[in-house]
Amino acid sequence: MDVLRHSFSDDEFDRRRTQTLQLAAGVDASTVLAFGENRSGLHVTYLSGWAPTRQAWLRLNSQGTDLWVSFHNHVPAARRMAKADRVGDVADVEPRHLLGTDRVIGTLGQVPLHIRQAAEEAGATLISLDRAHADLRSAKSDEEVDALRLGGRASDIGARALIEACRPGATDWDLLAEARAAYTRAGARDHICYIGVTDMDAPARDVPSQVPEGHVLTDRSVVTFELSAAVAPEYPGQILRTVFLGEPTDEYLTLHEVASRAHERMRSRVKAGVAARELVEAAGCVEESGLTTTDDLFHGLGMGYLDPVGVSPSRRPYAEPRGDLRDGMSIVIQPNVTTIDHRAGVQTGQMIVVRPSGFEDLHNLEEGPVMAA
């Protein structure tokens, strides 16, 4: 198997940094500070390509891009992998040096408390750019879509391995291990892999679990999963499926038929310029069938969990999705249809990219309910 590889061009990072500094200028700031830690901090990744391990601080201004990471033994890898003018150790930079002399500074991500305190002592005002920056990231460039396509391929590889592992006697730990091994061998990294296992004759799960719970599959199990792997960090695909070991019950056949109908109706509405709320309306067959959902009907994904986010009107709390679909938006359409009592549910769906006349599908795994071999 060829290893999947991806890298963004210098021009792509220049585009991101220029647009980020333009956002900062809108609040009279000429410097942007981005923060991440403990494998979280997509703003640092967006501006430098470095996926934070422990703490990571980034400073962007007209003098260039500075990145500080921890621990000290993580610095060599950051110097090899990050697109930054200077890379150092967080332990070597004082908060006052990080802040500089600016009176107004734009921020991205959660600002550490001691940095806030240092800013207050220095008389500097920190202004969050998070909301505006999320909107900036929601429509993807051509290079970003290339990265998402690879994420889709990697996620399909993991999904196929997970499905092949669905056999009596296997555990949800086994399914996770097989999925991760498959996409890791292909050159991808973890994003999420949620798995649910229950007995289709006496179901007690309506959505996958975020961690394995030690369930053992039988010849009457139903497995639901939501899987995302990425080649470029924060640019995953996402695929959701339901796997049956044995003949599905009438209840599950109905759940999946409604989910498939909602999925296709939503996809049929997708194109740039369409109001996001129209996708919620297209999924009205869920409530018309006397069913509901637990998970989102759809959401933006790729360099963050992004708008638009749509949920069923029967789900509480309910909020109408904001805005219109835009060319280059990457969204996951994923109607998780469940019984009203949330005793049973199914997963189906995958990531697409919005286009002027429709959408591009990023996955090629066969749709519909999956019957285990």
Question: Domain with 84 in it: what CATH number?
Answer: 3.40.350.10
Whether 302 contacts 145, CB under 8 Å: no
- Residue 243, in any domain of the structure: yes
User: Are 170 and 61 in a shared domain?
Assistant: no
- Residue 5, in any domain of the structure: no
Q: Determine the average pLDDT of the residues in 243-255.
A: 98
Instruction: Decide which of 95, 117, 138 is a domain's last residue.
Output: 138
Q: Determine the average pLDDT of the residues in 108-113.
A: 97
Confidence of residue 139 (pLDDT cuts 50, 70, 90): very high
- Residue 115, in any domain of the structure: yes
Both tokens assigned to 191: 């994003």
317 has a pLDDT exceeding 90: no
- Residue 170, in any domain of the structure: yes
Confidence of residue 173 (pLDDT cuts 50, 70, 90): very high
**Dihedral sign, CA of 182, 183, 184, 187?**
positive
**Tally of structural domains, the chain:** 2
Instruction: Decide which of 78, 108, 138 is a domain's last residue.
Output: 138
Confidence of residue 39 (pLDDT cuts 50, 70, 90): confident
Whether 42 contacts 304, CB under 8 Å: yes
Q: pLDDT averaged over the chain?
A: 97
Per-residue pLDDT tens for 202-245?
A: 999 999 999 999 999 999 999 999 999 999 999 999 999 999 99
pLDDT of residue 1: 64
Q: Determine the average pLDDT of the residues in 56-64.
A: 97
pLDDT of residue 204: 97
User: What order do you get walking across the sheet with 56-61 strand by strand?
Assistant: 86-89, 64-69, 56-61, 32-36, 104-108, 125-128
pLDDT of residue 2: 82
Q: Determine the average pLDDT of the residues in 31-55.
A: 96
Confidence of residue 316 (pLDDT cuts 50, 70, 90): confident
User: Are 132 and 148 in a shared domain?
Assistant: no
Helix (H) or strand (E) holding 87: strand 86-89
Q: Determine the average pLDDT of the residues in 47-54.
A: 96
Tell me the residue range of the domain where 73 lies: 10-138
Confidence of residue 303 (pLDDT cuts 50, 70, 90): very high
User: Are 88 and 127 in a shared domain?
Assistant: yes
Q: Determine the average pLDDT of the residues in 7-36.
A: 98
- Residue 3, in any domain of the structure: no
User: Are 133 and 147 in a shared domain?
Assistant: no
- The CATH number given to whatever domain includes residue 192 is 3.90.230.10
Q: Determine the average pLDDT of the residues in 32-48.
A: 96
User: Are 180 and 132 in a shared domain?
Assistant: no
- Residue 289, in any domain of the structure: yes
Instruction: Decide which of 88, 116, 138 is a domain's last residue.
Output: 138
Residue 312 DSSP one-character state = -
User: Are 131 and 159 in a shared domain?
Assistant: no
28 has a pLDDT exceeding 90: yes
